[in-house]
Structure 1
Amino acid sequence: MAETDDRYDEGSVTMPDFGDHVDNGIFSQILEMDESETDRDFSGPLVINFFDQADETFDKMDKAVALKNLDELSSLGHFLKGSSATLGFNKIRDSCQVIQQYGHQLNIDGTTEPDGDICLKKIIEALKTVKVDTKTLEKSMKKFFGLPE
């Protein structure tokens, strides 16, 4: 796969290299659903709606953190993990997996973590990371789709 000015071809779809933020194979399949590579009538709204959904989910997560509601955090992490995985958004998916696991009071390796305060601390760290990664990716995606930031 030859790279030129940080763009490459994957099949007929040309897109920037989003690095480890995006699974290019999955994302290129989403892009292939567009009738036109210039209009992006399908993928553009789908991706932008994801970021709106992520912001709403982060607000709910912040409230669940304040209430120390691990079950709700796990549920919200699971929800956003699924949406991000469908689009190939790896970093977001991985952080949401952490939130889901610790919400169930499980370490990443699946062992039980009985201390709810430790779980909450790990969730807060993952939430901080996923918010930054989401904003970074949203900025890149808006540029890719030719939308204002």
Structure 2
Amino acid sequence: MLKSDEDSDDEVYFANMPDFGDHVDNAIFSQILEMDESDHERDFSEPLVINFFEQAQDTFEKMDQALASRDLNELSTLGHFLKGSSATLGFNKIRDSCQVVQQYGHKLTVDGVSEPDENVCLKKIAEALQAAKVDTAELEKQMKKFFGAE
């Protein structure tokens, strides 16, 4: 059976997709890319990804405010929200950092063990939030280059 030109284009495109390392689950991200009608006009995936980074920035600002006011419940809610968005796109490192924020916001370790010391929770959240910001900035640069939007 002969492959269509479109199949060949897909193979070339995915073969040329950069290695995002452990930042991105390529299987999930490839599924997002497959929703585009054209590999050359990323009308579905590009706005989705760009909007994610805008959403992440807004969420980080809210997290900073919640951290300053020591609002663990709000931090957990925001962590859960951004974890879901990043997981949907396959953005692993951001997802993992947001999981830490969510868990410690509930006064739980990442293993689900109770952590009653609020100061420990806030410290772990601050560390995870900083990691999420760094990973988001790095991934945003890679994605803008990938989509030719730099």
| Same fold at TM > 0.5 | yes
Number of the residue aligned with 1:103: 105
Unaligned stretches of 5+ in structure 2? Answer: 1-8
The one of 74, 77, 86 aligned to 1:75: 77
Number of the residue aligned with 1:127: 129
Q: Larger helix proportion, structure 1 or 2? A: 2
Query: Using the alignment, how far apart are the partners of 1:28 and 1:95 within structure 2?
Result: 22
Identity rate of aligned residues, in percent? 72
SS in 2 for 1:16: coil
Number of the residue aligned with 2:4: none
Shift of 1:108: 1.0
Q: What is the Cα-based RMSD across aligned positions, in Å? A: 1.3
Query: Using the alignment, how far apart are the partners of 1:102 and 1:55 within structure 2?
Result: 21
Number of the residue aligned with 1:91: 93
What is the 5 A alignment of 1:57-76? 57-76=59-78
Count of aligned pairs: 140
Give the TM-score taking structure 2 as reference length: 0.91
Give the TM-score taking structure 1 as reference length: 0.91
Number of the residue aligned with 2:32: 30
Structure 1 moving runs of 4+ over 3 Å: 9-13
Query: Using the alignment, how far apart are the partners of 1:24 and 1:72 within structure 2?
Result: 31
1:116 and 2:127 matched: no
Number of the residue aligned with 2:149: 147
Larger radius of gyration: 2
Question: Is this contact kept in 2: 1:13–1:28, CA < 8 A?
Answer: no
Shift of 1:31: 0.1
Query: Using the alignment, how far apart are the partners of 2:11 and 2:63 within structure 1?
Result: 38
SS in 1 for 2:43: coil
Shift of 1:12: 6.2
Letter in 1 for 2:94: I
